[in-house]
A and B are shown apart, each in its own frame.
Chain A
């Protein structure tokens, strides 16, 4: 009872905070449109929002006529005719393109000791976002965290430029440079979700270090061919916490094909920006990817530095029909020497998720994750995880989520002996979250 009262008080506080923080983020300001033009519920993007992202944060039909906040000209268009005797003209945003994301959170963790089960994270996360485009040719996105996981965490998460339409037909070749989320997650990017937890295929640290969604410094070539085929190939630094610098870089590639619905490049989108019923995209997209990497690690307790080569292969699926969307993915791979003892670790993780839009402001999500990893003889991970989520859009830029996490650990074989899981309780976490973007 005491817990319920606390939860209700916290929810009321969120409402008060949110009311005062009403606002619109940078892209909405630029085009004078609602968040729902590009998002089902922030930060999850709809098909149009995905086309906008792929196009380097430039509207699929080009920015010039739909920008309401006139950019500052760095030379009229006619200067293109004067090239190479003049600098190619461009524009910059009229104001510094900044937006703020805030998560306020109440978490109930039954596994924690008494007295620490209920925690306020206010803010749980506070980020400054940079987003803009310099004309149709160059896009910019950055993410600077001030608070993360309820703690001061000043640091750069993502910061990259995308140079659009480098060669060939429109959208055929773009170059992304900077600190990026590798394009293998393009089927389900870290920030493209409704839930607070992420699907396991982008979040799973099989060997405790590298995971697909981590931002890394590198270069990615990507593009769309014929509106339906998407590719991305890249080179990145690799796992940076254990090996900030190394000469051997990680490489990745992903291809995807979309059948039906809006084209990956935005083909078929309404010519004017649309603010309602944007979630519907009756289409199926399937993707396949690979990542080959290496990291060097020195054990925290001391000892010789060792090298781990690893690989991943994965598939992703996104299928939309009316108000429902089904997503799924599988990632599998092998780490040759993840713990410095020359024992190979093989692993597979997959998930399935259903999102359903009951009303434009009320969305339900149900996700099931599965992780399994194994040395030659012993199991390492073997569990199921379930995330139910209800999200309410209080305003287009303010959302509340209630989310649970359930986990079922299975029996594991360790040194030839089958052992019961150390934790048998399935209910692991309950959270109420208020997210505000302005």
Chain B
């Protein structure tokens, strides 16, 4: 009985310990700078691919609003399979469409108060445009895994709970060429990756 209890305690400890290790898997943090210093809040950093795993998209829809002749947000990273709602909160009609190969679609022209939805399966960049207002623009990044983040206005970012492994870590900005870096996430601790985008 005593030995069975001991095995049970060890088993419980292992589960707790291993769970704790997964929960506390590595973080990636850093700072991104861009030439001219503008638009840091549009920087997306992400792990290109996590092999051997699939990830379920969130059940709650993401939103790209149309307000004051602008798509809000301007940049939206999301997990493959996610659905985006496109409400029209403006006083004018809009026509959301995308000419991108990643997801070509056209929602047609619709007035204020209407919301239309699109699900994004294929990974890649999707340019959002409005056929009525050619200056309107936004981008959706459809990603393979949930390990991504948008930088803050100072260019700082943090991605938590990344499982251990070797990855290609990518930085993306709508006006610069993307860059990437090879990183290794260990069982614990954090990795710092800084980027400077200048072309």
Asked whether A65 is an interface residue with its Cβ less than 8 Å from the other chain, the reply is yes
* Cβ B38 vs Cβ A73 within 8 A: no
Taking a contact as CB atoms closer than 8 A, the residue among B35, B101, B174 that contacts A77 in the complex is: B174
Asked whether A144 is an interface residue with its Cβ less than 8 Å from the other chain, the reply is no
Taking a contact as CB atoms closer than 8 A, the residue among A65, A76, A85 that contacts B134 in the complex is: A76
Asked whether B52 is an interface residue with its Cβ less than 8 Å from the other chain, the reply is no
Q: Which of chain B's residues have a CB closer than 8 A to the CB of A76? A: 127, 129, 134-137
* Cβ B134 vs Cβ A75 within 8 A: yes
Q: Which of chain A's residues have a CB closer than 8 A to the CB of B39? A: 65
Give Cα distance in the complex from A82 to B97, angstroms: 10
* Cβ B137 vs Cβ A61 within 8 A: no
Give Cα distance in the complex from A89 to B136, angstroms: 12
Q: Which of chain A's residues have a CB closer than 8 A to the CB of B135? A: 73-76
- Of listed B38, B98, B101, residue having the most chain A CB within 10 A: B38
Give A10 Cβ to nearest chain B Cβ, in Å: 44
Q: Which of chain A's residues have a CB closer than 8 A to the CB of B38? A: 65
* Cβ B35 vs Cβ A272 within 8 A: yes
* Cβ B137 vs Cβ A82 within 8 A: no
Taking a contact as CB atoms closer than 8 A, the residue among A64, A85, A272 that contacts B175 in the complex is: A64
Asked whether B51 is an interface residue with its Cβ less than 8 Å from the other chain, the reply is no
Q: Which of chain A's residues have a CB closer than 8 A to the CB of B34? A: 65
* Cβ B175 vs Cβ A65 within 8 A: yes
Nearest-CB residue, chain B, relative to A75: B134
Asked whether B36 is an interface residue with its Cβ less than 8 Å from the other chain, the reply is yes
10 A-B pairs (CB sep. < 8 Å): A64-B175, A75-B135, A76-B134, A76-B136, A78-B127, A78-B128, A79-B99, A81-B127, A271-B35, A272-B36
Asked whether B109 is an interface residue with its Cβ less than 8 Å from the other chain, the reply is no
- Of listed A76, A77, A78, A81, residue having the most chain B CB within 10 A: A78
Interface digits, B16-57 against A, CB 8 Å rule (1 contact, 0 not)?
000000000000000000111111000000000000000000
The 7 closest A-B pairs by CB, nearest first: A65-B36, A76-B137, A78-B127, A82-B99, A73-B135, A75-B134, A81-B99
- Of listed A61, A64, A272, residue having the most chain B CB within 10 A: A64
Asked whether B100 is an interface residue with its Cβ less than 8 Å from the other chain, the reply is yes
Q: Which of chain A's residues have a CB closer than 8 A to the CB of B128? A: 78
* Cβ B199 vs Cβ A79 within 8 A: no
Interface class of chain B by DSSP: loop
Asked whether B198 is an interface residue with its Cβ less than 8 Å from the other chain, the reply is yes
Q: Which of chain A's residues have a CB closer than 8 A to the CB of B136? A: 76
| Given known A-B contacts A64-B175, A65-B35, A271-B35, A78 and B129 have beta carbons under 8 A apart | yes
In this complex, how many residues of chain B approach chain A with their Cβ under 8 Å: the count is 23
Interface digits, A77-103 against B, CB 8 Å rule (1 contact, 0 not)?
111011001100100000000000000
Give A29 Cβ to nearest chain B Cβ, in Å: 16
Interface digits, B101-130 against A, CB 8 Å rule (1 contact, 0 not)?
100000000000000000000000001110
Q: Which of chain B's residues have a CB closer than 8 A to the CB of A64? A: 36, 175
Q: Which of chain A's residues have a CB closer than 8 A to the CB of B127? A: 76-78, 81
Tell me the A281-299 residues at the B interface (CB within 8 Å): none
* Cβ A78 vs Cβ B99 within 8 A: yes
- Of listed A61, A76, A82, residue having the most chain B CB within 10 A: A76
* Cβ B129 vs Cβ A79 within 8 A: yes
Size bracket, chain A contacts = 10 to 19
Asked whether A66 is an interface residue with its Cβ less than 8 Å from the other chain, the reply is yes
Q: Which of chain B's residues have a CB closer than 8 A to the CB of A86? A: 99
| Given known A-B contacts A62-B199, A81-B100, A82-B129, A74 and B134 have beta carbons under 8 A apart | yes
Q: Which of chain B's residues have a CB closer than 8 A to the CB of A77? A: 127, 137, 174-175
* Cβ B35 vs Cβ A78 within 8 A: no
Nearest-CB residue, chain A, relative to B174: A77
Nearest-CB residue, chain A, relative to B136: A76
Give B39 Cβ to nearest chain A Cβ, in Å: 8
Nearest-CB residue, chain B, relative to A273: B36
Give Cα distance in the complex from A89 to B133, angstroms: 12
Give Cα distance in the complex from A77 to B100, angstroms: 12
Give Cα distance in the complex from A272 to B37, angstroms: 9
Give Cα distance in the complex from A342 to B198, angstroms: 60
| Given known A-B contacts A73-B135, A76-B135, A61 and B35 have beta carbons under 8 A apart | yes
Taking a contact as CB atoms closer than 8 A, the residue among B36, B137, B174 that contacts A66 in the complex is: B36
Give Cα distance in the complex from A20 to B98, angstroms: 53
Q: Which of chain B's residues have a CB closer than 8 A to the CB of A271? A: 35, 198
Give Cα distance in the complex from A76 to B174, angstroms: 11
Give A230 Cβ to nearest chain B Cβ, in Å: 21
Q: Which of chain B's residues have a CB closer than 8 A to the CB of A65? A: 34-39, 175-176
Nearest-CB residue, chain B, relative to A63: B36
Tell me the B127-174 residues at the A interface (CB within 8 Å): 127-129, 134-137, 139, 174
Q: Which of chain A's residues have a CB closer than 8 A to the CB of B175? A: 64-65, 77
Give Cα distance in the complex from A271 to B136, angstroms: 29
Give B78 Cβ to nearest chain A Cβ, in Å: 17
Give Cα distance in the complex from A50 to B37, angstroms: 24
Give Cα distance in the complex from A81 to B175, angstroms: 15
Nearest-CB residue, chain A, relative to B137: A76
Nearest-CB residue, chain A, relative to B176: A65
Give B71 Cβ to nearest chain A Cβ, in Å: 10
**Given A65-B35, A77-B175, 14 extra CB contacts under 8 A:** A61-B198, A65-B34, A65-B37, A65-B39, A65-B175, A65-B176, A75-B134, A76-B127, A78-B128, A78-B139, A79-B99, A79-B129, A81-B100, A81-B101
Give B140 Cβ to nearest chain A Cβ, in Å: 11
Q: Which of chain A's residues have a CB closer than 8 A to the CB of B36? A: 64-66, 272
Give Cα distance in the complex from A66 to B175, angstroms: 12
Give Cα distance in the complex from A89 to B35, angstroms: 22
* Cβ A85 vs Cβ B198 within 8 A: no
Interface digits, B174-199 against A, CB 8 Å rule (1 contact, 0 not)?
11100000000000000000000011
